[in-house]
């Protein structure tokens, strides 16, 4: 109907509205939708609506999906209040309609997404909204690659010689693809609610704030679609239609309820900020009473997920919250464990004192004198005595974390071990294998210190896995964090030193020299466990198990040292022969574990 607009071929055949309605009394597309539903019900009808008529095509005509041009145009023009209002109006009329929108940032009739939204923060903030709103996100041709040449049906080929922008592709992989992989959290509308963000009593229209999820998982998305930095607080949702049989009403919901939280004084909500990689916590009751406050830089976004609630049984969640506030941590379980371990660390704090480090370093350097040995033994005795005497007074969560009480280490056992170490590393030692190869493990003093810490918590017949698990529960990489920094060790390297201490403290006791003293046999026996294989980065590829050369050399030296110190038949063990044989065999093994062990 009408005049035909800009299309000349139609304009000359235009007829008045009343004549048109007489000729076609029923809406053509409504008839199509109804017949499709009856005759081919599995057919999906996707409409390209006239601009800004998407609601009509879904509400009145009943199309299953409709391209939502309002998303692209309003967000591009930063008509944030209008688009937020469009979402609110839809929630009041029929929330299910939001699921039918196909949202996009470009199409064949428009300029490319990069041209319209740029290739920086603004683009990725809108792309975050695209990926997390209900409905179906649609990416245009070349959008992920960052192509700038417009495409369309009238183009037979590309005219620009463009190659993918690696940075943009990487940013999609980092910021967008993980969201798309969790579309089940964002695509529905049952739990979807949009919120007004208030700043000094006024609505901050540039902020898109909405919660969604499933019965089991909840999410919160915050996006600032403007150049200026802004602050906001959200608490109560916009009205939403809720149906109860034939009856319906408009309801609002608090953010705390939307996220499935409980109103209780000892409850804490824990959530992960996907955008920063940090985990945060806050009292659940604070979210009920005050809502959620945040700050967003220009064109910044924040996606919050993995939201869960815990009961603060021992007060450590409150302690952590008072300590870090809203700053967040990389690993909240580790942060809580460190708080719980703090009283235990206090008992053994001398195991990281400057004097202790000095004495144990002197032993490995082959410079230890009788006074060094006595000082070291005195420190060990003091720490062990405090540990035995005070362990029962530690909190139950600490005991539960360690799974066992420390066993008493006899003085003669430690005296023998320290004297053996001092003799082995002495420049006057007959067998200088450890003196010659000490450089293979520069962190030997740290390794020995860690082994002294874990000794009371494992048995003589404990496996390498049990010792490594115990060292992880004690978080000894955190306990010795400063020493690790002095040695310029990365987090992963320090973690490896902790596990190497577990290997040292156990393999020497587990190797049966009565069965064989052959170095290859012994090494084969040692690698019959996952920890040692992980330590050398053993990995299988095309039927071959490969290992890391440096780690294997360290394992050989650590194993030789462990057998020399702890094995009850160590008089049958030749450390030099063991190390020399295995290092030569390792040099010929071509990084293949099966060529080194049986």
Which residues in 136-178 belong to E strands, given as ranges?
Answer: 136-138
CA count, 13 A, side-chain hemisphere, 288: 13
Nearest to 220 by CA among 185, 269, 250, 262: 185
Altogether, the residues listed in the chain come to a count of 598
- The predicted pLDDT at position 4 comes to 57
Nearest to 481 by CA among 341, 280, 367, 363: 341
**Helical ranges in 26-112 per DSSP H:** 28-39, 54-59, 69-76, 80-93
- Please enumerate, as own/partner, the contacts of 164-172 that have beta carbons within 8 Å and a separation of 24 or more: 165/119, 168/114, 168/119, 168/144, 169/144, 169/145, 171/124, 172/127, 172/144
Which residues, 6+ apart, have CB-to-CB distance to 24 below 8 Å?
none
Q: How far is CA 574 from CA 9, 90, 418, 433, 562, in A?
A: 99, 81, 20, 10, 12
In whole angstroms, give the CA distance from residue 100 to residue 169. Answer: 28
In whole angstroms, give the CA distance from residue 291 to residue 197. Answer: 10
- What's the order of all strands across the beta sheet hosting 65-68? 46-47, 65-68, 101-104, 136-138
Q: What are the pLDDT tens digits along the chain (598 aa)?
A: 456 566 667 777 788 888 888 888 888 888 999 999 999 999 988 888 766 677 788 878 888 888 898 899 999 999 999 999 999 999 998 999 899 999 999 988 889 999 999 999 999 999 999 999 999 999 998 999 999 998 877 778 888 999 999 999 999 999 999 999 999 999 999 999 999 999 999 999 999 999 999 999 999 999 999 999 999 999 999 999 998 888 889 999 999 999 999 987 799 999 999 999 999 999 999 999 999 999 999 999 999 999 999 999 889 999 999 999 989 999 999 999 999 999 999 999 999 999 999 999 888 888 888 898 999 999 999 999 999 999 888 888 888 878 788 999 999 999 999 998 988 888 676 667 777 665 555 688 999 999 999 999 998 889 999 999 999 999 999 999 999 999 899 999 999 999 999 999 999 999 888 888 999 999 999 998 889 999 999 999 999 999 999 999 989 999 999 999 999 888 889 989 999 999 999 999 999 999 998 8
- The predicted pLDDT at position 441 comes to 59
Nearest to 292 by CA among 274, 312, 319, 271: 271
Kindly report whether the global pTM for this prediction surpasses the value 0.95.
no
In whole angstroms, give the CA distance from residue 45 to residue 547. Answer: 55
Q: How far is CA 527 from CA 54, 116, 379, 532, 594, in A?
A: 65, 58, 34, 6, 11
- The predicted pLDDT at position 424 comes to 86
Which residues in 151-197 belong to E strands, given as ranges?
Answer: 193-195
Cβ contact 483:442 at 8 Å: no
Helix axes 575-588, 549-566, angle to 10 degrees: 160
Angle at 107 between CA 105 and CA 109, to 5 degrees: 130
- Written as six digits, the tokens of 560 are 């030789």
Strands 247-251 and 240-244: antiparallel
Which residues in 319-455 belong to E strands, given as ranges?
Answer: none
> Which residue's entry shows tokens 């990069």?
114
How many other C-beta atoms are found inside a 10 Å radius of the C-beta of residue 409? Answer: 17
- The predicted pLDDT at position 1 comes to 45
Q: What is the DSSP letter of 154?
A: T
Q: What is the DSSP letter of 307?
A: E
Q: What is the DSSP letter of 235?
A: -
- Written as six digits, the tokens of 152 are 């369309």
Cβ contact 43:31 at 8 Å: no
In whole angstroms, give the CA distance from residue 337 to residue 540. Answer: 34
Query: Facing residues of 230 across strands?
Result: 296
Which residues, 6+ apart, have CB-to-CB distance to 102 below 8 Å?
46, 65, 66, 67, 68, 135, 136, 138
Nearest to 283 by CA among 296, 301, 271: 271
Cβ contact 447:500 at 8 Å: yes
Cβ contact 466:458 at 8 Å: yes
Nearest to 70 by CA among 143, 112, 130: 130
Query: What does 360-392 look like in DSSP terms, one character per residue?
Result: HHHHHTT---HHHHHHHHHHHHHHHHHHHHHGG
In whole angstroms, give the CA distance from residue 377 to residue 410. Answer: 12
Helix axes 354-364, 370-390, angle to 10 degrees: 130
Domains identified in the chain and CATH numbers: 44-151+166-182 (3.20.20.80), 194-330 (2.60.40.1180), 344-596 (no CATH)
Which residues in 122-189 belong to E strands, given as ranges?
Answer: 136-138
- The predicted pLDDT at position 8 comes to 67
Cβ contact 75:129 at 8 Å: yes
Strands 278-283 and 218-224: unpaired
Query: Facing residues of 268 across strands?
Result: 283, 310
Q: Say if residue 260 is exposed, middle or buried (CB neighbours under 10 Å; 0-12, 13-18, 19+).
A: middle
pLDDT tens figures, 461-508: 899 999 999 999 999 999 999 999 998 999 999 999 999 999 999 999
Which residues, 6+ apart, have CB-to-CB distance to 488 below 8 Å?
none
């Amino acid at each position: 109907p009408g005049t035909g607009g800009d299309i000349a071929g139609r304009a000359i055949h235009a007829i008045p509205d009343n004549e048109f309605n007489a000729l076609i009394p029923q809406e053509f597309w409504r008839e199509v939708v109804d017949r499709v539903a009856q005759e081919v019900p599995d057919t999906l009808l996707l409409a390209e609506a006239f601009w800004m008529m998407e609601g009509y095509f879904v509400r009145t005509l009943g199309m299953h999906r409709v391209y939502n041009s309002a998303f692209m145009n309003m967000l591009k023009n930063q008509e944030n209040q209008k688009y937020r209002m469009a979402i609110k109006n839809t929630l009041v009329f029929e929330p299910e309609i939001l699921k039918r929108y196909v949202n996009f940032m470009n199409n064949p009739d428009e300029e490319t997404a990069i041209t319209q939204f740029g290739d920086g923060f603004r683009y990725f903030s809108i792309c975050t909204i695209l990926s997390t709103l209900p409905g179906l996100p649609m990416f245009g041709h070349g959008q992920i690659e960052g192509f700038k040449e417009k495409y369309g049906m009238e183009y037979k080929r590309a005219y620009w010689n463009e190659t993918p922008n690696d940075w943009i592709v990487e940013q999609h992989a980092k910021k967008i693809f993980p969201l798309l992989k969790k579309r089940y959290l964002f695509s529905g509308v049952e739990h979807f609610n949009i919120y007004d963000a208030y700043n000094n009593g006024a609505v901050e229209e540039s902020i898109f704030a909405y919660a969604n999820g499933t019965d089991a998982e909840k999410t919160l998305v915050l996006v600032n679609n403007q150049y200026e930095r802004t602050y906001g607080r959200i608490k109560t949702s916009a009205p939403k239609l809720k149906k109860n049989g034939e009856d319906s009403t408009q309801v609002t919901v608090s953010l705390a309820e939307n996220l499935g939280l409980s109103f209780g004084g000892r409850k804490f909500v824990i959530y992960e900020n996907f955008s920063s990689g940090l985990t945060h916590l806050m009292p659940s009751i604070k979210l009920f009473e005050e809502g959620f406050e945040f700050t967003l830089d220009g064109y910044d976004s924040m996606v919050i997920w993995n939201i869960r609630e815990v009961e603060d049984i021992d007060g450590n969640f409150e302690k952590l919250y008072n300590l870090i506030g809203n700053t967040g941590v990389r690993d909240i379980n580790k942060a809580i464990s460190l708080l719980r371990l703090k009283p235990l660390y206090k008992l053994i704090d001398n195991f990281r004192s400057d004097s202790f480090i000095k004495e144990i370093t002197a032993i490995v350097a082959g410079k230890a004198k009788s006074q060094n040995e006595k000082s070291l033994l005195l420190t060990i005795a003091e720490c062990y005595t405090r540990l035995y005497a005070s362990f029962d007074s530690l909190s139950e969560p600490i005991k539960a974390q360690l799974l066992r009480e420390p066993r008493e280490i006899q003085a003669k056992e430690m005296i023998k071990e320290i004297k053996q170490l001092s003799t082995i590393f002495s420049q006057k030692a007959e067998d200088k294998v450890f003196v010659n190869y000490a450089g293979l493990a520069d962190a030997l003093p740290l390794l020995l210190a860690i082994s002294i810490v874990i000794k009371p918590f494992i048995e003589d017949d404990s496996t390498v896995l049990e010792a490594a698990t115990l060292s992880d529960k004690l978080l000894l990489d955190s306990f010795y964090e400063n020493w690790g920094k002095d040695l310029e060790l990365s987090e992963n390297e320090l973690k490896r030193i902790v596990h190497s201490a577990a290997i040292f403290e156990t393999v020497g006791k587990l190797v049966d020299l009565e069965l064989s003293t052959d170095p290859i046999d012994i090494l084969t026996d040692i690698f019959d466990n996952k920890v040692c294989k992980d330590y050398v980065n053993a990995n299988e590829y095309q039927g071959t198990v490969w290992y890391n050369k440096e780690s294997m050399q360290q394992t050989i030296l650590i194993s030789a040292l462990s057998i020399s110190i702890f094995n009850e038949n160590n008089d049958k063990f030749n450390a030099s022969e063991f190390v020399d044989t295995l290092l030569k065999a390792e040099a010929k093994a071509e990084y293949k574990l099966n060529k080194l062990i049986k």
